């Protein structure tokens, strides 16, 4: 069987700096053409971790762990003699959040100890991207350094995601858009399937040279912010982010083609989507798979999506995924982070309580992504419940 992409899976059980460095090095040494990437005058290296939360520390498994970022800084400085930059824009739209995320993730210590430069994408110079290929996002702003760097390395965290089901290599590139730009992405792409296409537009523009996933401890259940940490014990690396998403999502029990971002990126020719055409090095998927990893969607939904043709796929995905936000009063601390983060002003306060205007809510999960108290409940539409119920009745539910 002809293989077109390589993904390296390396075991790594904990965030011990030596173990992580060794795992990252082992993974990268198996990646196609890594020596060429290092020796080809690629001196300005941008590391793009996932810094979703401005308040939750590394132990909560929301953001990429600093020990993994440190290992990559060390690797590129030692092996490639590179000047390393670390940059992102965090998930909160509030001003100052990205710098807070940098500190709470302890990347300030990494930068201080190694001399790596920190770039806050909300404040850095931006470039205007204009797409001509009938994209969902015809124009958007992104951090200028993404185009200035010789090498862009994406460092996603392995997590579930209520809106996109899974977040990995493709989804991680959303962070190159500065805070207010992210708001526009949600407004321009309000349906789940359209949002997935918008993410692929962004991924196409960034197209990292390399992706190294922090899958030592991932997040299961109600990701990307309110789920639970789950040990996976892996570093996963590859040049092709689509192929990496196929492998990583398979490890946690998804059918890769049921993940909209993976399917759309593959259809657009941005990477290899067929598992049979991916050369997996290091550990085998079946040895490291976690069948009981709690996903954010039902098995019925995954099963149906895996077999549905294009247009029906999008329809089914939208109906079975679209949800509106509700606030669970008993968990709510009235911090109002959600109110400030809603891109369409669907949240307000009445006598101190947070209320959601269901007519305005576009189900973007931006409130869920910033609530640190698991107080946001995303409720599927009645039609969505019927769809999932039918799938269960037809006995394609796992249980």
In this structure, what DSSP letter does residue 375 have? -
In this structure, what DSSP letter does residue 144 have? T
Segment interacting with ligand SF4 (CB under 6 A) among 80-88, 90-98, 221-229, 337-345: 337-345
Q: Cβ 248 to ligand SF4, closest distance in Å?
A: 26
> Of 77 and 326, which CB lies nearer to ligand SF4 in the complex structure?
326
Q: Cβ 369 to ligand SF4, closest distance in Å?
A: 8
Q: Cβ 345 to ligand SF4, closest distance in Å?
A: 8
Quote the Cα angle for 361-366-369, to 5°: 140
Q: Report in angstroms the alpha-carbon separations of 21 from 15, 16, 70, 306.
A: 10, 9, 8, 36
> Of 23 and 356, which CB lies nearer to ligand SF4 in the complex structure?
356
Q: What binding mask, one character per residue, do residues 292-331 give for ligand SF4 by CB under 6 A, x or -?
A: ---------------------------------x-x----
Binding status of residue 90 toward ligand SF4 by CB under 6 A: no
Q: CA nearest 214: which of 166, 168, 158?
A: 158
Binding status of residue 84 toward ligand SF4 by CB under 6 A: no
Tokens of 397: 């539910």
Binding status of residue 338 toward ligand SF4 by CB under 6 A: yes
Restricted to residues 340-379, the positions that interact with ligand SF4 (CB under 6 A) are 342, 344, 346-347, 354, 356, 361-367, 370-371, 373, 375-376
> Of 23 and 346, which CB lies nearer to ligand SF4 in the complex structure?
346
> Of 73 and 342, which CB lies nearer to ligand SF4 in the complex structure?
342
Q: Cβ 365 to ligand SF4, closest distance in Å?
A: 6
Sequence-ordered alpha helix ranges (H) in the chain: 17-30, 34-39, 66-80, 97-104, 107-114, 145-148, 169-172, 179-188, 192-206, 241-251, 260-267, 285-288, 299-307, 310-321, 337-341, 366-370, 382-393
Q: What are phi and psi of 329, to 5 degrees?
A: -55, -35
Quote the Cα angle for 207-307-281, to 5°: 45
Q: Cβ 38 to ligand SF4, closest distance in Å?
A: 42
- Distance, CA of 245 to CA of 100 (rounded, Å): 28
Binding-site size, ligand SF4 (CB under 6 A): 27
- Interface positions with ligand SF4 (CB under 6 A): 325, 327, 332-338, 342, 344, 346-347, 354, 356, 361-367, 370-371, 373, 375-376
């Amino acid at each position: 069987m002809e293989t077109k992409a390589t993904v390296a899976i390396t075991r790594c059980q904990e965030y011990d700096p030596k173990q992580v460095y060794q795992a990252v090095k082992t993974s990268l040494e198996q990646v196609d053409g890594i020596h060429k990437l290092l020796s080809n005058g690629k001196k300005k290296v941008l590391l793009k971790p996932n810094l979703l939360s401005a308040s939750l520390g590394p132990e909560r498994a929301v953001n990429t762990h600093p020990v993994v970022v440190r290992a990559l800084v060390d690797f590129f400085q030692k092996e490639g003699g590179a000047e390393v930059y670390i940059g992102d824009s965090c998930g909160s739209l509030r001003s100052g959040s990205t710098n807070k995320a940098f500190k709470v993730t302890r990347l300030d210590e990494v930068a201080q100890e190694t001399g790596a430069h920190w770039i806050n994408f909300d404040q850095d110079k931006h470039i205007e991207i204009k797409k001509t290929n009938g994209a969902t996002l015809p124009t958007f702003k992104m951090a200028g350094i993404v185009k200035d760097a010789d090498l862009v390395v994406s460092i996603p965290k392995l997590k579930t995601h209520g809106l996109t089901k899974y977040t990995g290599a493709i989804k991680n590139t959303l962070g190159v858009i500065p805070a207010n730009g992210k708001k526009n992405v949600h407004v321009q792409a309000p349906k789940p399937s359209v949002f997935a296409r918008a993410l692929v537009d962004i991924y196409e523009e960034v197209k990292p040279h390399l992706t190294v996933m922090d899958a030592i401890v991932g997040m299961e259940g109600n990701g990307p912010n309110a789920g639970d940490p789950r040990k996976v014990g892996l570093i996963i690396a590859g040049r092709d982010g689509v192929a990496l998403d196929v492998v990583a999502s398979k490890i946690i029990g998804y059918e890769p083609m049921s993940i909209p971002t993976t399917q759309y990126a593959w259809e657009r020719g941005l990477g290899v989507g067929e598992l049979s055409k991916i050369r997996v090095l290091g550990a085998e998927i079946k040895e490291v798979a976690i069948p009981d990893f709690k996903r954010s969607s039902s098995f019925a939904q995954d099963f149906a999506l895996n077999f549905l043709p294009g247009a029906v796929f999008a329809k089914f995905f939208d109906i079975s995924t679209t949800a509106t936000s509700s606030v669970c009063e008993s968990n709510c601390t009235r911090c109002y982070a959600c109110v400030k983060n809603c891109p369409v002003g669907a949240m307000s306060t009445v006598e101190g309580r947070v209320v959601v205007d269901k007519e305005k809510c576009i189900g973007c999960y931006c409130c869920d992504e910033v609530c640190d108290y698991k107080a946001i409940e995303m409720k599927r539409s009645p039609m969505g419940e019927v769809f999932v119920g039918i799938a269960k009745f037809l006995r394609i539910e796992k249980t």
